Amino acid sequence: MTSVRRTVNTVIGVILTAIMLFPLYWMINVSLTQPTELRKDPPNLFPFNPTFDGYRIVLTEQLPYLGTSLIIGLGTVLLTLVLSAPAGFALAKLRPRGRTAMDFTLLIAQMIPSIIMAMGFYLIFFNWGILDTVPGLILADSTLAVPFAVLIFTAFMAGIPDELMNAAKIDGASAWRTFRSVILPVSRNSIVTVSLFAFLWAWSDFIFASTLNRGGDLQPITMGIYKYIGNNTQDWNAIMATAVVASIPAAVLLIVAQRYVAAGVTAGAVKD
């Protein structure tokens, strides 16, 4: 009975995985399909006569957008870690007054729609002179990542034994030195988790990019894809090829960091 149940679960898992991955497969299929066959009914399930013109367009037109997205993603990760790691440490180990209210505020912050935040940022960024700039997008994307990151760091660091901090305190280490030399080195899983989600949010952002950097000289890949879209668009090869190339960094990061993310997200779920 156990083997039958295991087989059934495996089949269900394979079916669900195939359903979730089908859009990715179809994206690759369309990116390789000849333009004359795109409107074929029924469509080809496999590109028997593939074309790589879409990928040539990516290499000639979309590389600057990909580079800008990489800079924005890495900048968002750096800013998010700098702000959220000390905040998570303070909430988890220093236990300031109003900690519960702070946690509740962080949860509420994640519920605010991005478009509402973008509308509020527009005038602020205009007054600050960072509208249509890469630093402006880094700052905007970080506002999405920081609340989540603080909660992840708080949950993970709360599970670190207080004996480590007490030992460091006996050796004369300050709270800041303890955070840098003791807490951060053992928080690798949470650091990887936060970095991955921050990068993916920045990499896939469209709302902030289209609102706060629509006229900038350096724009992310989401805007590069958007430029292909129109009422009379015929260049579906380029659109899908760009989407495939833009998905590669996210897929690679998820595969490489999978075990760290699983440990980081579930941190604090079980208490001794």
| Same domain for 102 and 83 | yes
User: What does the pLDDT read at residue 73?
Assistant: 94
Share of the chain above pLDDT 70, in %: 93
With contact defined as beta carbons under 8 Å apart, do 117 and 140 qualify? yes
| Same domain for 258 and 130 | yes
Closest to 78 in 3D by CA, of 194, 206, 177, 180: 194
| Same domain for 110 and 72 | yes
Angle between helix axes 134-158 and 258-265 (nearest 10 degrees) is 60
Question: Has residue 97 got a pLDDT over 90?
Answer: no
Q: What is the pLDDT of residues 225-248, one digit of tens each?
A: 888 776 556 678 888 888 888 888
User: What does the pLDDT read at residue 72?
Assistant: 95
| Same domain for 66 and 26 | no
272, part of any domain: no
Rounded to 5°, the CA angle 179-182-188 comes to 90
User: Based on the structure, what is the number of domains in the chain?
Assistant: 2
Coil, strand or helix at 228: coil
Look up the domain containing 10 and give its range: 1-51
With contact defined as beta carbons under 8 Å apart, do 90 and 106 qualify? no
270, part of any domain: no
| Same domain for 28 and 102 | no
| Same domain for 65 and 33 | no
| Same domain for 41 and 121 | no
| Same domain for 28 and 63 | no
Question: Has residue 24 got a pLDDT over 80?
Answer: yes
| Same domain for 41 and 122 | no
pLDDT tier, 167 (very low <50, low <70, confident <90, very high otherwise): confident
pLDDT tier, 261 (very low <50, low <70, confident <90, very high otherwise): low
> Residue 102's domain is classified under what CATH number?
1.10.3720.10
Rounded to 5°, the CA angle 86-71-184 comes to 25
Q: What is the pLDDT of residues 1-13, one digit of tens each?
A: 578 888 888 899 9
With contact defined as beta carbons under 8 Å apart, do 145 and 194 qualify? yes
pTM of structure: 0.84
Mean pLDDT of 153-178: 85
Q: What is the pLDDT of residues 193-218, one digit of tens each?
A: 899 999 999 999 999 999 998 777 88
Lowest average pLDDT, out of 25-34, 50-59, 231-240, 256-265, goes to 256-265
| Same domain for 9 and 108 | no
Share of the chain above pLDDT 90, in %: 26
DSSP assignment letter at 237: H
